[in-house]
Every structure is written in C-alpha cells, then in structure tokens.
Amino acid sequence: MSVSGGIISRTDTITRADVKTAIQASTNNLTELCKHANVKPCSRYKPVRKKQDTGMTEADFASVDYGYLYPSLLTAQELCNFLAGISTASGKNLTRSGSDLVAIKNGWYYQKPSGGADSPCRIGDFRGYNNNVGNNLMLFESFDSINVAQPPAQTRIPFSVYCPYGESQVLPWEMGSMNNTGKVDSNKRYFGIVVYKVGATITARSNPRYLVSGSNNELMIESTSSLSAGAKLCKLFDGSGTYWIIPVMSSSKEAFNDGTTASGATANQQAIFYPLPCAHQVCVATNSTSVVVPPISTDVVWTTTITATRTSRRINITMTLSGRLKKAGSSVSIGGWGIYSVVSARQGQNDYISTPKIITANKLASTITSATADTIVYNGITGLAFDYLDAGFNTTDPITISVLCQTMNEGKYFDLQNSSNEVTK
C-alpha cells in the first residue's frame, strides 16, 4: 500500500483503495473520493480544480494556488471593513458560495474539483495527501492585553505566524498568484498587522493602524533611536477598548504605518492586502497609570512535580504543586487570585506553548487570609493535556513537556518562582 498512518506517498503509485483508507471513506468511486467531506482542506496536496488530464506537478498545484481561493483588498481600511462584516468592503473574491467550497479562515476557502472536462477528478492529486492535519492552515499568536499608559519594556515585540504542520501544508507565499509580478513575490512580500478597534468607526485617522513588519514568518516591532518598540506599539491603539490584531501580507511596504505617529496616515494607501488564513487575536487595551504589582512576594519558592502518559495523539499530565502564597502589598485584592498553568513542548525544531489555563479548584480567596505566608499543597492536579498531532509533532520521537505555574493580577500573569518542571515522554 502507498498509505501509512493517514499519509499517502508522494512518489509511489496510488490506488482508490489507498485513498479510501487514508480519508476513511466507504466508497471507491473516484469522483466521490475527490469531493468527499473527509478530505482535509489544510493538506498541501489534495484534489484541486484545474482543466488538466495529466498528473499534477508542484508548479501545476501552485498555478491554481493549491486549491485555495482567498480575498484581496486595496486598502487596510477595506480590509477591516471586510473582516468586520461591513458591507461597504470592496476587493476581489470577497463573497463565495457553493457546495464545492470549504471555509477556512478570514475569507479563505478550499475549492474541490467539480468533475467533467473542465474540472476532472484525478487520483494522482492525492499523492502526498496528509489526513493528520487539523483545521488550521496557519496559526497566529500575539499578546492578549496591553496597558497603553505603560509601554512594554521589550525592544523587540514578536508576533508569530506559522503553519502548525510544517511541510504538510502550503505557505500562502508559495502559491502561484502571490508570486506574479506586481503582487506578493519574493521581492515584494511584506508582513504586518492591522490593529482594528472593535465597534469603532473606521476613518483614515483613527483606525486602522499598522506597523512595519519583520522578515520570514515572524512579525515584530523594532526599536528605533527616537522611539522605543513599546511606545511604538502603544501608538497603534486608540485608548482603552477591545481590538483585533490581524496578520496580513501586502504588496507595498508603504502600506504600513511605522507606528511613529498616532494618526493612521496611510489608511487609504493603495496596495494589495491579503488577510492571512488564521484567526485574528483579541487584545484588551487599558489606559491606567497605576502600577501592577505581583500578588505574591518574590521570595516565595514553589515546587512542582509532573508525571505524564502518552497516547497515540495526546500527552496527559498530572501535577503536584506546593508552596507559600503571600500578599505583596495591602492594596492588592486577594479575591480574584488563581493559579494557572502554561504547558510548553518541544520535539526537535518543533515548539509549542499554551495559553494560561486555570488549574485550581477555587480562587484561593479562602486559602489566603492575611498578609502572612500561607502554605498550600495541591496534589494530583489533572486535566492538563497536550494534543501533539494537532501541534504538528510526530508520533515516534520523544517529546519534552514543561509546565510553568503563574498567578494573575489586573490582567497580568506572574510566574510562581521555581514552579517549572519538565518530563520527556
């Protein structure tokens, strides 16, 4: 057979039985296999729509964008209109409908072949197909809160955009229409973010705001001699409120404001904007001059031990946590305290980190009764897990799992000193 573990060989001869096994279908009909609901739209290779009877080369797949349809807009303002569902948005490929389309994110769709002379169904399109990929073509990670009155101290503030399944997926800039002259080619490919204030009237001066991006697949704000990265970041926010942080590509560097001014002077700069096929991040901005203090004193030492069991796709984690929790200041409320876990994992070049997750059964208000030190012990904390297949890790090599414990005050997370531990499975 040319299929193993849901992955079809890219080089071997394949049969309908191989495809049937890979996508877990009950039919041997070629048209039904190519249009089957189980076909994963985020696999790099899959049936695509192209008027061609012969086998598909890499260039052939690229010429039809690996089966994807995606929107393009002429200004960042129109981009925000589109993503916010405002009907005045204008651009290309903004509306789609049909039973042959599978929605992904941000107006991106996978289009299946329809069958017939103009869109034949080819068994060879399944060479290299991976049924283990999840539902995300790309992932985007950024901060979830910011105090615009107190810019972060970092000189580099990263925003991570990546494909969670590595070579099993196509990168948008590998697609044919994004490599045409005048669009986003190897010399004219600019990453950036658009910051959109939810509920705000979009105007050239108030929203959206954007920044010059970094290179490769990492977006970041660089510091300058005249303005720190933290201050530049805060210029992108129009005071307190809820914002969307939207990752995009553009054909023009000039389409991005460098963040040195508060006005969105380039909101109507004409370029080609492509929203990337990943969910935007929600950021809550505050504007407070009060100092956020950790609700624990820095001299309190914690200990953790973790054990883990590994299944065919998940690592289940059990943790014991012990230490002393002490108020760091009389102005800090203890009623909203909690202990959170951050799970990270690594396997070779693959890295993963989770968002903080509450792990304590209560908010600790009953545990901490005064400013004196109190000792707490949590035994057998369960419910922590890492789905390593969804994160793009393989099933054979060891995976190192780390757990760091934190507490939170005024929307900020603080590490519990010496609370991290790790195990390899």
Q: Which residue, among 209, 301, 315, 344, has the nearest Cα to 263 in the 3D structure?
A: 209
Residue 101 neighbours by CB distance under 10 Å = 14
Q: Note whether 248 and 275 are within 8 A (CB).
A: yes
pLDDT band for position 18 (50/70/90)? Answer: very high
Q: What is the mean pLDDT of residues 199-216?
A: 47
Q: Which of 75-79, 82-86, 109-113, 389-393 has the highest mean pLDDT?
A: 109-113
Q: Which residue has the higher pLDDT, 267 or 34?
A: 34
Q: Which residue, among 85, 79, 11, has the nearest Cα to 45 in the 3D structure?
A: 11
Per-residue model confidence (pLDDT) at position 222: 59
pLDDT band for position 124 (50/70/90)? Answer: very high
pLDDT band for position 238 (50/70/90)? Answer: confident
The one-letter amino acid code at 292 reads V
Q: What is the mean pLDDT of residues 208-226?
A: 52
- CA 280 from centroid of its chain's CA atoms: 8
Per-residue model confidence (pLDDT) at position 197: 80
pLDDT band for position 178 (50/70/90)? Answer: low
Total-model pTM: 0.66
Q: What tokens appear for 93 in the block? A: 């490929």
pLDDT band for position 4 (50/70/90)? Answer: confident
- SS3 sequence of the chain: CCEECCEECCCCCCCHHHHHHHHCCCCCCHHHHHCCCCCCCCCCCCCCCCCCCCCCCHHHHHHCHHHEECCEECCHHHHHHHHCCCCCCCEECCCCCCCCEEECCCCCEEECCCCCCCCCCCHHHHCCCECCCCCCCCEEECCCEEECCCCCCCCEEEEEEECCCHHHCCCHHHCHHHHCCCCCCCCCCEEEEEEEECCCCCECCCECEECCCCCCCEEEEECCCCCCHHHHHHCCCCCCEEEEEEEEEECCHHHCCCCCCCCCCCCCCCCCEEECCCCCEEEEEECCCCCCCCCCCCCCCEEEEEEEEECCCEEEEEEEEEEEECCCCCCCCCCCCCEEEEEEEEECCEEEECCCEECCCCCCCCCCCCCCCEEEEEEEEEEEEEECCCCCCCCCCCCEEEEEEEEEECCEEEECCCCCEEEEC
- Using CB atoms within 10 Å of the CB of residue 52, give its burial: 0 to 12 exposed, 13 to 18 middle, 19+ buried: middle
Query: Is a pLDDT exceeding 60 seen at residue 366?
Result: no
Q: How far is CA 106 from CA 85, 137, 275, 279, in A?
A: 11, 11, 6, 7
Cα(251)–Cα(387) distance, rounded to whole angstroms?
A: 36
Q: What tokens appear for 350 in the block? A: 């693959």
Average per-residue pLDDT in the chain? Answer: 75
CA atoms within 13 A on the CB side of 284: 4
Cα(100)–Cα(170) distance, rounded to whole angstroms?
A: 20
Cα(203)–Cα(229) distance, rounded to whole angstroms?
A: 25
Per-residue model confidence (pLDDT) at position 339: 77
Per-residue model confidence (pLDDT) at position 52: 93
Cα(151)–Cα(170) distance, rounded to whole angstroms?
A: 36
Q: Which residue has the higher pLDDT, 80 or 17?
A: 17
The 10s digit of each residue's pLDDT in 51-91 is: 999 999 988 998 898 999 888 877 767 777 787 776 665 66
Per-residue model confidence (pLDDT) at position 360: 67
Q: What is the mean pLDDT of residues 220-243?
A: 72
Q: Note whether 246 and 83 are within 8 A (CB).
A: yes
Cα(160)–Cα(281) distance, rounded to whole angstroms?
A: 11
The 10s digit of each residue's pLDDT in 275-324 is: 888 878 888 888 876 655 555 655 567 888 888 888 888 888 888 888 77
pLDDT band for position 368 (50/70/90)? Answer: low
pLDDT band for position 217 (50/70/90)? Answer: very low
